[in-house]
Chains A and B, each alone.
Chain A
């Protein structure tokens, strides 16, 4: 009886290890590390109704421009993002 129980537990443990291995393989080991240690999210302070923070932005073709130059004439949608 105890031997059977041990065998079942070892089987479950093996299945769990296989499932964990599959997940790590799918996501990528470095991404697991990245998810754990490279989370750059910040608590957002900016609220609806607040004045927009004016910031200096680089242009793709060089040079710098303040965001305020784009704000005011029409409503502005800002999409923040990156490639990866």
Chain B
């Protein structure tokens, strides 16, 4: 989706507090054992370090930013554990996704982009089969 829309829409991945930090009774799910074992950080530096591990491990190509250690962004956007938003050029919320993972819905975001962003209307049809 990023590759399909990046010429008309900006993207930003905001790293927020871990969904399953190792030290908060939320050990990694079995399929991630040995890979995704991150602790809940107590300093901004530790969170930045975790965010860099996340970016590298997931090979993220989106522009990245990180929530502060006070979790204000996460709170203001009710973002935990994962959520999608589309913000218009006037600063208004155009789309607010539901919290993941069960209700994380890139297809709904795709539809919102097509609805609100006229420049994206000509994006390739192949995007429908892809996920973020």
Give Cα distance in the complex from A46 to B78, angstroms. 8
- Contact, CB under 8 Å: A45 / B78: yes
- Contact, CB under 8 Å: A83 / B113: no
- Contact, CB under 8 Å: A77 / B11: yes
Q: Which of A52, A59, A83 meets B66, CB within 8 Å?
A: A59
In this complex, the interface size class of chain B, counting residues with CB under 8 Å from chain A, is 35 or more
Query: What does DSSP make chain B's interface, helix, strand, loop or mixed?
Result: mixed
* B73-118 at interface with A (beta carbon < 8 Å): 73-89, 91-96, 99-100, 109, 113, 116-117
Give Cα distance in the complex from A28 to B72, angstroms. 30
Query: What does DSSP make chain A's interface, helix, strand, loop or mixed?
Result: loop
In this complex, the interface size class of chain A, counting residues with CB under 8 Å from chain B, is 35 or more
Residue of chain B at shortest CB distance from A43: B78
Interchain Cβ contacts under 8 Å between A and B, 11 examples = A31-B20, A31-B29, A33-B25, A38-B20, A41-B80, A46-B96, A77-B85, A79-B82, A81-B13, A82-B81, A84-B32
Interface of B with A (CB < 8 Å)? 5, 8-21, 24-30, 32, 36-38, 44, 47-48, 50-55, 57-58, 62, 64-68, 72-89, 91-96, 99-100, 109, 113, 116-117, 132
Interface of A with B (CB < 8 Å)? 26-28, 30-31, 33-35, 37-38, 40-53, 55-60, 62, 64-65, 67-68, 70-84
